[in-house]
Structure 1
Amino acid sequence: MSYTYQGAQVNYLFKYILFTFNTIFWVAGAGLLAITFWAWNEKGMLNIQSITELKGFDPVWVILVVGLFTFILGYAGCIGALRENICLLKFFSVIIGTIFTVELVAGILAFVFQDTVKEHVQKFVQDNISAYRDDIDLQNLIDAVQKYMQCCGAADPNDWNRNVYFNCSKENTSRERCGVPFSCCLPDPAQNVVNTQCGYDIRSPDKNTIKDSLVIYTKGCIQAFEDWLPKNIYFVAGAFLVIAALQMFSIYLARSLISDIEALKAGWRY
Protein backbone atom coordinates (compact mmCIF):
# COMPACT_ATOMS: atom_id res chain seq x y z
CA MET A 1 0.00 0.00 0.00
CA SER A 2 1.36 3.45 -0.94
CA TYR A 3 0.46 6.87 0.40
CA THR A 4 0.53 10.20 -1.45
CA TYR A 5 1.10 13.43 0.44
CA GLN A 6 -1.71 15.85 -0.43
CA GLY A 7 -0.51 18.94 1.48
CA ALA A 8 1.38 22.02 0.27
CA GLN A 9 4.52 21.27 -1.72
CA VAL A 10 7.24 23.26 -3.43
CA ASN A 11 7.06 23.24 -7.22
CA TYR A 12 10.33 21.46 -8.03
CA LEU A 13 10.12 22.36 -11.72
CA PHE A 14 10.10 26.08 -10.89
CA LYS A 15 12.74 25.55 -8.23
CA TYR A 16 15.29 23.92 -10.51
CA ILE A 17 14.56 26.17 -13.48
CA LEU A 18 15.32 29.18 -11.26
CA PHE A 19 18.35 27.40 -9.79
CA THR A 20 19.80 26.52 -13.22
CA PHE A 21 19.02 29.93 -14.69
CA ASN A 22 20.75 31.76 -11.84
CA THR A 23 23.71 29.39 -11.67
CA ILE A 24 24.55 30.44 -15.23
CA PHE A 25 24.27 34.11 -14.28
CA TRP A 26 26.32 33.57 -11.12
CA VAL A 27 29.18 32.03 -13.10
CA ALA A 28 28.86 34.72 -15.79
CA GLY A 29 29.02 37.45 -13.13
CA ALA A 30 32.16 35.90 -11.63
CA GLY A 31 33.67 35.79 -15.12
CA LEU A 32 32.91 39.47 -15.74
CA LEU A 33 34.46 40.44 -12.40
CA ALA A 34 37.57 38.45 -13.30
CA ILE A 35 37.76 40.26 -16.66
CA THR A 36 37.45 43.61 -14.83
CA PHE A 37 40.41 42.99 -12.53
CA TRP A 38 42.43 41.46 -15.38
CA ALA A 39 41.84 44.57 -17.53
CA TRP A 40 42.82 46.94 -14.71
CA ASN A 41 45.87 44.83 -13.94
CA GLU A 42 46.95 44.99 -17.59
CA LYS A 43 46.68 48.78 -17.44
CA GLY A 44 48.49 48.92 -14.07
CA MET A 45 45.45 50.34 -12.30
CA LEU A 46 44.91 48.02 -9.36
CA ASN A 47 44.75 50.88 -6.85
CA ILE A 48 42.00 53.43 -6.15
CA GLN A 49 44.20 56.47 -6.85
CA SER A 50 45.11 55.40 -10.39
CA ILE A 51 41.48 54.54 -11.16
CA THR A 52 40.08 57.86 -9.91
CA GLU A 53 42.77 59.87 -11.74
CA LEU A 54 41.83 58.36 -15.10
CA LYS A 55 40.36 60.93 -17.48
CA GLY A 56 37.35 60.08 -19.58
CA PHE A 57 35.07 57.06 -19.35
CA ASP A 58 36.63 53.68 -18.68
CA PRO A 59 34.50 50.95 -20.36
CA VAL A 60 35.75 48.50 -17.74
CA TRP A 61 33.38 50.21 -15.26
CA VAL A 62 30.43 48.91 -17.29
CA ILE A 63 31.80 45.37 -17.07
CA LEU A 64 32.35 45.82 -13.33
CA VAL A 65 28.82 47.09 -12.62
CA VAL A 66 27.15 44.47 -14.82
CA GLY A 67 29.34 41.72 -13.39
CA LEU A 68 28.67 42.78 -9.79
CA PHE A 69 24.90 42.92 -10.26
CA THR A 70 24.90 39.63 -12.17
CA PHE A 71 27.02 37.93 -9.52
CA ILE A 72 24.89 39.15 -6.58
CA LEU A 73 21.55 38.39 -8.26
CA GLY A 74 22.82 35.02 -9.51
CA TYR A 75 23.94 34.13 -6.00
CA ALA A 76 20.65 35.22 -4.42
CA GLY A 77 18.51 33.39 -6.98
CA CYS A 78 20.67 30.26 -7.06
CA ILE A 79 21.08 29.77 -3.30
CA GLY A 80 17.59 31.06 -2.57
CA ALA A 81 16.03 28.47 -4.87
CA LEU A 82 18.31 25.61 -3.81
CA ARG A 83 17.95 26.21 -0.07
CA GLU A 84 14.35 27.48 -0.33
CA ASN A 85 15.42 30.67 1.44
CA ILE A 86 12.58 33.20 1.45
CA CYS A 87 14.81 36.18 2.28
CA LEU A 88 17.13 35.58 -0.66
CA LEU A 89 14.21 34.94 -3.02
CA LYS A 90 12.48 38.16 -1.92
CA PHE A 91 15.73 40.09 -2.36
CA PHE A 92 16.12 38.59 -5.83
CA SER A 93 12.57 39.42 -6.94
CA VAL A 94 12.66 42.96 -5.49
CA ILE A 95 15.97 43.83 -7.19
CA ILE A 96 14.82 42.39 -10.53
CA GLY A 97 11.56 44.32 -10.21
CA THR A 98 13.45 47.52 -9.39
CA ILE A 99 15.74 47.08 -12.41
CA PHE A 100 12.73 46.49 -14.65
CA THR A 101 11.02 49.64 -13.31
CA VAL A 102 14.16 51.74 -13.78
CA GLU A 103 14.53 50.48 -17.36
CA LEU A 104 10.89 51.30 -18.10
CA VAL A 105 11.06 54.79 -16.58
CA ALA A 106 14.38 55.52 -18.31
CA GLY A 107 12.95 54.47 -21.67
CA ILE A 108 9.88 56.68 -21.24
CA LEU A 109 11.93 59.69 -20.11
CA ALA A 110 14.41 59.21 -22.98
CA PHE A 111 11.51 59.20 -25.45
CA VAL A 112 9.82 62.27 -23.92
CA PHE A 113 13.02 64.32 -23.52
CA GLN A 114 14.78 63.27 -26.71
CA ASP A 115 16.48 66.63 -27.33
CA THR A 116 17.85 66.83 -23.78
CA VAL A 117 19.13 63.26 -23.95
CA LYS A 118 20.75 63.97 -27.31
CA GLU A 119 22.56 67.02 -25.90
CA HIS A 120 23.86 65.08 -22.89
CA VAL A 121 24.99 62.15 -25.04
CA GLN A 122 26.73 64.48 -27.48
CA LYS A 123 28.54 66.25 -24.63
CA PHE A 124 29.49 62.88 -23.12
CA VAL A 125 30.99 61.70 -26.42
CA GLN A 126 32.83 64.98 -26.94
CA ASP A 127 34.31 64.85 -23.44
CA ASN A 128 35.58 61.34 -24.07
CA ILE A 129 37.03 62.31 -27.43
CA SER A 130 39.36 64.60 -25.50
CA ALA A 131 40.53 61.56 -23.46
CA TYR A 132 40.93 59.30 -26.51
CA ARG A 133 44.63 58.60 -25.96
CA ASP A 134 44.42 58.39 -22.16
CA ASP A 135 42.91 54.92 -21.93
CA ILE A 136 43.37 52.02 -24.35
CA ASP A 137 39.93 50.56 -23.66
CA LEU A 138 38.22 53.90 -24.31
CA GLN A 139 40.27 54.28 -27.49
CA ASN A 140 39.24 50.83 -28.72
CA LEU A 141 35.59 51.55 -27.88
CA ILE A 142 35.55 54.85 -29.83
CA ASP A 143 37.31 53.20 -32.78
CA ALA A 144 34.83 50.32 -32.78
CA VAL A 145 31.83 52.69 -32.70
CA GLN A 146 33.19 54.90 -35.48
CA LYS A 147 33.97 51.94 -37.73
CA TYR A 148 30.65 50.17 -37.14
CA MET A 149 28.47 53.29 -37.37
CA GLN A 150 30.61 54.75 -40.19
CA CYS A 151 30.89 58.09 -38.46
CA CYS A 152 33.49 60.49 -37.12
CA GLY A 153 33.23 62.57 -33.98
CA ALA A 154 30.07 63.31 -32.01
CA ALA A 155 28.54 65.99 -34.27
CA ASP A 156 31.18 66.03 -37.02
CA PRO A 157 34.92 65.32 -37.57
CA ASN A 158 35.85 68.74 -36.17
CA ASP A 159 35.03 67.43 -32.71
CA TRP A 160 38.52 65.95 -32.80
CA ASN A 161 39.83 69.48 -32.18
CA ARG A 162 39.01 68.71 -28.54
CA ASN A 163 41.85 66.19 -28.41
CA VAL A 164 45.36 67.51 -27.75
CA TYR A 165 46.87 65.20 -30.37
CA PHE A 166 44.42 66.02 -33.19
CA ASN A 167 43.59 69.71 -32.69
CA CYS A 168 44.72 72.29 -35.23
CA SER A 169 46.30 74.77 -32.83
CA LYS A 170 49.75 76.11 -33.67
CA GLU A 171 51.00 74.89 -30.28
CA ASN A 172 50.26 71.28 -31.28
CA THR A 173 53.46 69.69 -32.57
CA SER A 174 51.96 66.20 -32.97
CA ARG A 175 52.15 64.53 -36.37
CA GLU A 176 48.41 63.85 -35.95
CA ARG A 177 47.70 67.60 -35.90
CA CYS A 178 44.52 68.48 -37.84
CA GLY A 179 43.85 64.82 -38.38
CA VAL A 180 41.39 62.17 -37.20
CA PRO A 181 41.85 58.57 -35.98
CA PHE A 182 42.12 55.84 -38.59
CA SER A 183 38.65 54.58 -37.57
CA CYS A 184 37.18 57.66 -39.27
CA CYS A 185 38.60 56.61 -42.64
CA LEU A 186 36.57 54.96 -45.37
CA PRO A 187 37.87 51.41 -45.89
CA ASP A 188 39.98 50.84 -48.98
CA PRO A 189 39.20 47.40 -50.53
CA ALA A 190 42.60 47.42 -52.20
CA GLN A 191 44.44 47.53 -48.87
CA ASN A 192 44.89 44.34 -46.86
CA VAL A 193 46.58 46.19 -43.99
CA VAL A 194 44.87 49.00 -42.08
CA ASN A 195 46.41 52.38 -42.89
CA THR A 196 46.63 54.05 -39.48
CA GLN A 197 47.84 57.29 -41.09
CA CYS A 198 44.91 57.72 -43.45
CA GLY A 199 43.42 60.56 -41.38
CA TYR A 200 46.56 62.69 -41.16
CA ASP A 201 46.06 66.39 -42.08
CA ILE A 202 42.54 65.70 -43.36
CA ARG A 203 41.12 68.67 -41.44
CA SER A 204 43.92 71.05 -42.39
CA PRO A 205 42.57 74.50 -43.42
CA ASP A 206 44.87 74.40 -46.43
CA LYS A 207 43.25 71.24 -47.80
CA ASN A 208 39.58 71.98 -47.04
CA THR A 209 38.73 68.34 -47.76
CA ILE A 210 36.20 67.65 -45.02
CA LYS A 211 33.06 68.47 -46.98
CA ASP A 212 31.97 65.58 -49.21
CA SER A 213 35.21 63.82 -48.34
CA LEU A 214 35.99 60.54 -50.08
CA VAL A 215 38.65 59.76 -47.46
CA ILE A 216 36.84 59.90 -44.10
CA TYR A 217 33.28 59.69 -42.79
CA THR A 218 31.80 63.17 -42.47
CA LYS A 219 28.69 62.24 -40.50
CA GLY A 220 28.77 62.59 -36.71
CA CYS A 221 28.12 59.49 -34.61
CA ILE A 222 25.03 60.98 -32.93
CA GLN A 223 23.39 61.54 -36.31
CA ALA A 224 24.60 58.13 -37.50
CA PHE A 225 22.89 56.48 -34.53
CA GLU A 226 19.67 58.42 -35.21
CA ASP A 227 19.76 57.14 -38.79
CA TRP A 228 20.59 53.58 -37.67
CA LEU A 229 17.81 53.28 -35.07
CA PRO A 230 14.74 53.41 -37.38
CA LYS A 231 16.29 50.79 -39.67
CA ASN A 232 16.85 48.42 -36.74
CA ILE A 233 13.85 49.32 -34.59
CA TYR A 234 12.41 45.78 -34.71
CA PHE A 235 15.72 44.27 -33.57
CA VAL A 236 16.05 46.80 -30.72
CA ALA A 237 12.42 46.40 -29.66
CA GLY A 238 12.73 42.61 -29.82
CA ALA A 239 15.85 42.66 -27.64
CA PHE A 240 14.12 44.81 -25.02
CA LEU A 241 11.04 42.57 -25.07
CA VAL A 242 13.17 39.45 -24.57
CA ILE A 243 15.01 41.05 -21.66
CA ALA A 244 11.72 42.24 -20.11
CA ALA A 245 10.16 38.79 -20.56
CA LEU A 246 13.12 37.09 -18.85
CA GLN A 247 12.94 39.55 -15.97
CA MET A 248 9.19 39.07 -15.50
CA PHE A 249 9.55 35.28 -15.77
CA SER A 250 12.29 35.33 -13.12
CA ILE A 251 10.08 37.37 -10.79
CA TYR A 252 7.18 34.98 -11.41
CA LEU A 253 9.33 31.94 -10.57
CA ALA A 254 10.69 33.56 -7.40
CA ARG A 255 7.27 34.71 -6.17
CA SER A 256 5.77 31.27 -6.90
CA LEU A 257 8.50 29.58 -4.87
CA ILE A 258 8.01 32.07 -2.04
CA SER A 259 4.27 31.31 -1.96
CA ASP A 260 4.92 27.54 -1.97
CA ILE A 261 7.49 27.77 0.83
CA GLU A 262 5.27 30.01 2.96
CA ALA A 263 2.31 27.65 2.47
CA LEU A 264 4.50 24.68 3.39
CA LYS A 265 5.79 26.41 6.52
CA ALA A 266 2.27 27.42 7.51
CA GLY A 267 1.25 23.76 7.35
CA TRP A 268 3.99 22.83 9.81
CA ARG A 269 2.32 24.86 12.54
CA TYR A 270 -0.80 22.71 12.60
Structure 2
Amino acid sequence: IFMWTLLIILVLQITGAVLGFVFSGKVLRKSEKLLDKAIIRYRDDLDLQNLIDFIQKKFKCCGIKYYSDWSKNMYFNCSETNPSLERCAVPFSCCIMDTREILNTMCGYETQELKPWSAQNQIYINGCLDSIVKWGHQNLLTISGLALGLLVLEIFMVSLTVLLLHQIQSVKKIIKRTTQK
Protein backbone atom coordinates (compact mmCIF):
# COMPACT_ATOMS: atom_id res chain seq x y z
CA ILE A 1 0.00 0.00 0.00
CA PHE A 2 2.81 2.40 0.91
CA MET A 3 4.58 1.87 -2.42
CA TRP A 4 1.38 2.40 -4.40
CA THR A 5 0.61 5.56 -2.44
CA LEU A 6 4.08 6.91 -3.20
CA LEU A 7 3.71 6.00 -6.88
CA ILE A 8 0.31 7.68 -7.11
CA ILE A 9 1.66 10.86 -5.47
CA LEU A 10 4.67 10.79 -7.81
CA VAL A 11 2.49 10.37 -10.92
CA LEU A 12 0.12 13.13 -9.75
CA GLN A 13 3.01 15.54 -9.18
CA ILE A 14 4.54 14.83 -12.59
CA THR A 15 1.12 15.13 -14.26
CA GLY A 16 0.43 18.40 -12.42
CA ALA A 17 3.78 19.85 -13.47
CA VAL A 18 3.27 18.88 -17.12
CA LEU A 19 -0.31 20.19 -17.19
CA GLY A 20 0.76 23.41 -15.44
CA PHE A 21 3.46 23.94 -18.04
CA VAL A 22 1.27 23.07 -21.04
CA PHE A 23 -1.74 25.05 -19.84
CA SER A 24 0.15 27.94 -18.20
CA GLY A 25 -2.08 30.51 -19.92
CA LYS A 26 -5.19 28.87 -18.55
CA VAL A 27 -3.60 28.62 -15.09
CA LEU A 28 -2.89 32.36 -15.26
CA ARG A 29 -6.51 33.15 -16.20
CA LYS A 30 -7.83 30.91 -13.40
CA SER A 31 -5.45 32.62 -10.96
CA GLU A 32 -6.73 35.99 -12.09
CA LYS A 33 -10.34 34.91 -11.47
CA LEU A 34 -9.38 33.54 -8.06
CA LEU A 35 -7.64 36.79 -7.11
CA ASP A 36 -10.64 38.74 -8.41
CA LYS A 37 -12.92 36.82 -6.02
CA ALA A 38 -10.40 37.36 -3.22
CA ILE A 39 -10.49 41.14 -3.75
CA ILE A 40 -14.30 41.11 -3.69
CA ARG A 41 -14.30 39.17 -0.37
CA TYR A 42 -11.35 41.09 1.17
CA ARG A 43 -13.10 42.37 4.31
CA ASP A 44 -15.35 39.30 4.70
CA ASP A 45 -12.62 36.82 5.67
CA LEU A 46 -9.79 37.84 8.00
CA ASP A 47 -7.48 35.03 6.86
CA LEU A 48 -7.99 36.01 3.22
CA GLN A 49 -7.41 39.66 4.11
CA ASN A 50 -4.14 38.79 5.87
CA LEU A 51 -3.03 36.68 2.89
CA ILE A 52 -3.73 39.48 0.41
CA ASP A 53 -1.98 42.01 2.66
CA PHE A 54 1.04 39.69 2.91
CA ILE A 55 1.19 39.25 -0.89
CA GLN A 56 0.86 42.99 -1.55
CA LYS A 57 3.58 43.84 0.97
CA LYS A 58 5.92 41.03 -0.14
CA PHE A 59 5.65 41.74 -3.87
CA LYS A 60 5.19 45.52 -3.51
CA CYS A 61 2.03 45.50 -5.59
CA CYS A 62 -1.62 46.51 -5.41
CA GLY A 63 -4.63 44.74 -6.89
CA ILE A 64 -4.53 42.09 -9.60
CA LYS A 65 -3.40 44.04 -12.63
CA TYR A 66 -3.62 47.58 -11.31
CA TYR A 67 -4.44 49.44 -8.11
CA SER A 68 -7.88 50.39 -9.48
CA ASP A 69 -8.91 46.71 -9.18
CA TRP A 70 -9.89 47.55 -5.62
CA SER A 71 -13.01 49.28 -6.98
CA LYS A 72 -14.46 45.76 -7.30
CA ASN A 73 -14.64 45.56 -3.51
CA MET A 74 -17.80 47.11 -2.03
CA TYR A 75 -15.86 48.95 0.68
CA PHE A 76 -13.27 50.48 -1.68
CA ASN A 77 -15.66 51.07 -4.60
CA CYS A 78 -15.62 54.64 -5.92
CA SER A 79 -19.35 54.90 -6.67
CA GLU A 80 -21.24 57.89 -5.29
CA THR A 81 -23.62 55.56 -3.45
CA ASN A 82 -20.82 53.97 -1.40
CA PRO A 83 -21.12 55.30 2.18
CA SER A 84 -17.91 53.61 3.37
CA LEU A 85 -15.07 55.70 4.79
CA GLU A 86 -12.78 53.58 2.61
CA ARG A 87 -14.51 54.77 -0.58
CA CYS A 88 -11.92 55.13 -3.40
CA ALA A 89 -9.19 53.78 -1.12
CA VAL A 90 -6.87 50.80 -1.33
CA PRO A 91 -5.74 48.62 1.61
CA PHE A 92 -2.82 49.92 3.65
CA SER A 93 -0.74 47.00 2.34
CA CYS A 94 -0.61 48.82 -1.02
CA CYS A 95 1.12 51.80 0.57
CA ILE A 96 4.77 52.65 0.09
CA MET A 97 5.96 52.81 3.67
CA ASP A 98 9.11 54.02 5.27
CA THR A 99 10.10 51.53 7.97
CA ARG A 100 11.06 54.41 10.23
CA GLU A 101 7.53 55.83 10.16
CA ILE A 102 4.57 54.83 12.29
CA LEU A 103 2.11 52.58 10.42
CA ASN A 104 -0.61 54.71 8.85
CA THR A 105 -3.51 52.42 7.96
CA MET A 106 -5.27 55.30 6.19
CA CYS A 107 -2.41 56.00 3.77
CA GLY A 108 -4.31 54.51 0.81
CA TYR A 109 -7.43 56.63 1.26
CA GLU A 110 -8.72 58.39 -1.88
CA THR A 111 -5.81 57.08 -3.96
CA GLN A 112 -8.07 55.51 -6.60
CA GLU A 113 -9.13 59.03 -7.58
CA LEU A 114 -5.51 60.01 -8.26
CA LYS A 115 -3.80 59.72 -11.63
CA PRO A 116 -1.16 56.94 -11.75
CA TRP A 117 1.77 59.37 -11.83
CA SER A 118 0.45 61.01 -8.67
CA ALA A 119 -0.66 57.80 -6.92
CA GLN A 120 2.73 56.11 -7.38
CA ASN A 121 4.19 58.43 -4.74
CA GLN A 122 1.87 56.96 -2.10
CA ILE A 123 1.02 53.42 -3.22
CA TYR A 124 2.28 50.63 -5.42
CA ILE A 125 0.31 50.94 -8.65
CA ASN A 126 1.35 47.71 -10.40
CA GLY A 127 -0.75 44.57 -10.01
CA CYS A 128 0.26 41.52 -8.03
CA LEU A 129 -0.34 38.94 -10.76
CA ASP A 130 2.47 40.33 -12.91
CA SER A 131 4.71 40.68 -9.85
CA ILE A 132 4.15 37.05 -8.83
CA VAL A 133 4.75 35.79 -12.39
CA LYS A 134 7.91 37.90 -12.60
CA TRP A 135 9.10 36.47 -9.26
CA GLY A 136 8.38 32.96 -10.56
CA HIS A 137 10.45 33.59 -13.69
CA GLN A 138 13.31 35.07 -11.66
CA ASN A 139 13.32 32.08 -9.31
CA LEU A 140 12.55 29.41 -11.90
CA LEU A 141 15.93 27.74 -11.46
CA THR A 142 15.50 27.48 -7.68
CA ILE A 143 11.91 26.25 -7.96
CA SER A 144 12.89 23.71 -10.62
CA GLY A 145 15.84 22.54 -8.52
CA LEU A 146 13.62 22.00 -5.48
CA ALA A 147 11.03 20.15 -7.57
CA LEU A 148 13.72 17.97 -9.14
CA GLY A 149 15.23 17.27 -5.71
CA LEU A 150 11.83 16.17 -4.39
CA LEU A 151 11.31 14.02 -7.49
CA VAL A 152 14.67 12.26 -6.96
CA LEU A 153 13.85 11.76 -3.27
CA GLU A 154 10.45 10.27 -4.12
CA ILE A 155 11.94 7.94 -6.75
CA PHE A 156 14.53 6.87 -4.16
CA MET A 157 11.74 6.17 -1.64
CA VAL A 158 9.80 4.08 -4.19
CA SER A 159 13.01 2.16 -5.00
CA LEU A 160 13.66 1.46 -1.32
CA THR A 161 10.07 0.30 -0.93
CA VAL A 162 10.43 -2.11 -3.87
CA LEU A 163 13.72 -3.38 -2.43
CA LEU A 164 12.14 -3.90 0.98
CA LEU A 165 9.22 -5.72 -0.65
CA HIS A 166 11.62 -8.10 -2.43
CA GLN A 167 13.54 -8.73 0.80
CA ILE A 168 10.31 -9.54 2.62
CA GLN A 169 9.37 -11.99 -0.16
CA SER A 170 12.83 -13.61 0.08
CA VAL A 171 12.54 -13.99 3.85
CA LYS A 172 9.06 -15.49 3.45
CA LYS A 173 10.45 -18.07 0.98
CA ILE A 174 13.30 -18.97 3.35
CA ILE A 175 10.90 -19.34 6.28
CA LYS A 176 8.56 -21.46 4.15
CA ARG A 177 11.44 -23.76 3.10
CA THR A 178 12.74 -24.17 6.64
CA THR A 179 9.31 -24.93 8.08
CA GLN A 180 8.63 -27.58 5.41
CA LYS A 181 11.71 -29.61 6.41
Normalising by structure 2, report the TM-score: 0.90
Which residue pairs with 2:128 in the alignment? 221
Aligned counterparts, 1:103-182, within 5 A: 103-182=13-92
Deviation at 1:211, TM superposition (A): 6.5
2: CA distance between counterparts of 1:247 and 1:137? Answer: 32
Deviations along 1:38-97, whole A, 9 cap, x unmatched? Answer: xxxxxxxxxxxxxxxxxxxxxxxxxxxxxxxxxxxxxxxxxxxxxxxxxxxxx2222222
Give the root-mean-square deviation of aligned CA atoms: 1.7
Which residue pairs with 1:75 in the alignment? none
Aligned counterparts, 1:200-211, within 5 A: 200-204=109-113, 207-209=114-116
Letter in 1 for 2:132: F
Which residue pairs with 2:107 in the alignment? 198
2: CA distance between counterparts of 1:227 and 1:211? Answer: 25
Deviations along 1:88-119, whole A, 9 cap, x unmatched? Answer: xxx22222221221121121122122221111
**Contact persistence 1:180–1:199 (CA under 8 A):** yes
SS at 2:112 equivalent: coil
1: CA distance between counterparts of 2:65 and 2:98? Answer: 24
Structure 2: 5+ residue stretches without partners? none
**Contact persistence 2:116–2:125 (CA under 8 A):** no
**Contact persistence 1:202–1:210 (CA under 8 A):** no
Most deviating of 207-216 and 102-111? 207-216
1: CA distance between counterparts of 2:137 and 2:118? Answer: 26
Aligned counterparts, 1:222-241, within 5 A: 222-241=129-148
Letter in 2 for 1:244: L
**Contact persistence 1:155–1:222 (CA under 8 A):** yes
Number of paired residues? 177
Report sequence identity in percent: 36
Which residue pairs with 1:251 in the alignment? 158
Deviation at 1:243, TM superposition (A): 1.7
2: CA distance between counterparts of 1:95 and 1:268? Answer: 28
Deviation at 1:240, TM superposition (A): 0.9
**Contact persistence 1:210–1:218 (CA under 8 A):** no
2: CA distance between counterparts of 1:223 and 1:127? Answer: 17
Normalising by structure 1, report the TM-score: 0.62
1: CA distance between counterparts of 2:17 and 2:118? Answer: 35
2: CA distance between counterparts of 1:114 and 1:211? Answer: 34
Structure 1: 5+ residue stretches without partners? 1-90
1: CA distance between counterparts of 2:74 and 2:37? Answer: 12
Which residue pairs with 1:73 in the alignment? none
1: CA distance between counterparts of 2:39 and 2:117? Answer: 18
